Amino acid sequence: MRVLDSHLHLWDPELLHYTWLDGPLAWLFGATEIEHARIPRATTERAVFVQAETVEDDFLDEVRWVASLAQRVGVVGIVAGARLDRGTDTTAHLEGLAGEPLVVGVRHNLQGEPDGLAVSAAFVTGAREVAARGWSFDACARASQLPEIARLAAAVPELRMVLDHLGKPTVGTADVPVAPTMEWVRDLDDLARHPNVWCKLSGLPAEAGGDWSPEQLAPFLDAAADAFGVERLMWGSDWPVSVIGPAEADDPYANDDGSPMYQPTARSRWAETVIAWAERRGHDVDAILWRNAEEFYRIGARPTPADAREERPRRGLLGWLRGERT
């Protein structure tokens, strides 16, 4: 079974600057860490790296760092950080990204932006510049913002867009599940009417705080399939954001106070959950796990750079799990 993870993060707080990392996420997540989170059933595993919300000044440095690890990690495409509302500064940044061969798209993270930004004149102009370069746009937005994403899709129909994390609906937890709301289903359907928009089956474990079950999340996968059709769905792990939560059973490193921690098998559990769901529904598993992401990001036979420098020794997550937390 081949797997092309459409939504993988990597970060290094000693090399780049982030303002949002805390708790078990505030550690190095690089080549060594993802190697310990591989999907056992995958005979071939590749990934699209999605910007990890460094500070804006580090957007290009982040691309270059990930490119240096690409061959070792299996990254075959990079969705770079970009602000699309900066006018000439946006143009200059996109021109800088054009010199990086692994860049296949950009993401201006919209989930915390004020209403109306994504359909402002400046943003739409930036989005058109992205489309003109043949790149795609990752729309990371909350459920309440889906109508605005639909308006952006209508304003720039030539731009290939993918909705991250199904629009971050409220899902509850394994013990207290929440059914999909009528509003979210309606807005997802409205967005899917734009043929230039696709959807990632990603991020739902994080919306559950890491406390989830396959049965709880299946209705959300069904709604996405009903809206977009299997041909516009792609699996994404959202690693490591979606692997933080209550300790897994028999984890020898479980926190004594029960606080959230890294879940070593959560990435593979999410993959197996989507695979099992797709098989039960009679959906094309290879399309969801590989072909659709390959087509959307126009990866094909895109080579990875030969420069795959070893990471310099740092105190990464594996050390944290073993108690090196000072």
In a domain, 118, yes or no: yes
Mean pLDDT of 226-232: 98
* 104-157 residue pLDDT tens: 999 999 999 999 999 999 999 999 999 999 999 999 999 999 999 999 999 999
Task: Please give the pLDDT value at position 322.
Answer: 45
pLDDT interval class at 318 (50, 70, 90): low
In a domain, 175, yes or no: yes
Mean pLDDT of 276-282: 98
261: pLDDT strictly greater than 60: yes
Task: Please give the pLDDT value at position 309.
Answer: 38
- Beta-bridge mates of residue 105: 79, 136
11: pLDDT strictly greater than 80: yes
What pTM did the predictor assign?
0.93
In a domain, 171, yes or no: yes
What's the CATH code of the domain at 137?
A: 3.20.20.140
92: pLDDT strictly greater than 70: yes
Domain residues for the domain of 100 are: 2-321
In a domain, 289, yes or no: yes
310: pLDDT strictly greater than 50: no
pLDDT interval class at 304 (50, 70, 90): very low
Mean pLDDT of 42-68: 98
* 122-132 residue pLDDT tens: 999 999 999 99
Task: Please give the pLDDT value at position 305.
Answer: 45
In a domain, 170, yes or no: yes
Give the pairing of strands 261-262 and 233-235: unpaired
* 165-188 residue pLDDT tens: 999 999 999 999 999 999 999 999
Task: Please give the pLDDT value at position 257.
Answer: 85
Task: Please give the pLDDT value at position 111.
Answer: 97
The number of folded domains in the chain is 1
Q: Determine what percent of the chain is predicted with pLDDT higher than 70.
A: 92
In a domain, 326, yes or no: no
Task: Please give the pLDDT value at position 316.
Answer: 58
